[in-house]
Amino acid sequence: RLQGDWSSDVCSSDLVTADSPENLARAYRAADVTIVPSLMESFGYMAAESLLCHTPVVAFAVGGLIDVVGGIRHDPLVPPYDKWRWPGKIPNELNLRMAGPARHGALVAPYDTTEMAITVQELLNNASMREQRAEAGRQWVLTQCNPAKLARNMHEVYHEAIARFKVERHKH
């Protein structure tokens, strides 16, 4: 459902295209929820952009969307959802759907479009939850995805990798 200037031009099932970053932000802000049905995402830029514009996200629980939409740090030692390994169920570690006050939307099992539709409808029907998740998502993106923080994190990763390489090299 789109609000504001867009509501007369676009119905809720239309796809919105934007010809500029300003119009893209305007489209995100006009929406009640952004749906990201990606099956592979390394980071989830669309989800982060939506959250930055104060619009919660419903997405498949894959890749970077688990971090961005869930607002959780995915442990690399816990394997990601794999429909072949866990057919028909989601591992409890992901704590999906509407649970959890820090969520920025909702995650559903990949390929489960029925669950995605139900989850979108639940979020559309609950304005206070939508607002809470929109605000939590915006704050998460502002604090976790700013360029300085990302650069510091990358710097730490490189230093750790170099240190591990040096230890391994000295073992041989």
Instruction: Tokens 């979108």: give the residue.
Output: 120
Residues 6+ apart with CB under 8 A from 1: 7, 12, 31, 32, 124
**Residues 58, 106 contacting (CB under 8 angstroms):** yes
Q: What is the pLDDT of residues 109-165, one digit of tens each?
A: 888 888 889 889 988 999 998 998 899 889 888 888 877 877 887 788 888 889 888
Output the pLDDT for position 157: 83
pLDDT at 2 over 60: no
For the record, the structure tokens of 127 come out as 């304005």
Output the pLDDT for position 64: 84
At residue 106, the 3 state secondary structure works out as strand
Q: What is the pLDDT of residues 27-86, one digit of tens each?
A: 999 999 999 999 988 888 899 999 999 999 999 888 888 888 875 443 343 344 444 444
Output the pLDDT for position 125: 92
Output the pLDDT for position 82: 47
Output the pLDDT for position 8: 44
Model confidence band, residue 94 (pLDDT cutoffs 50, 70, 90): very low
**Residues 8, 31 contacting (CB under 8 angstroms):** no
Beta bridge partners of 2: 31
pLDDT at 88 over 90: no
Angle CA(133)–CA(136)–CA(142) in degrees, nearest 5? 135
Output the pLDDT for position 112: 86
Q: What is the pTM of this model?
A: 0.67
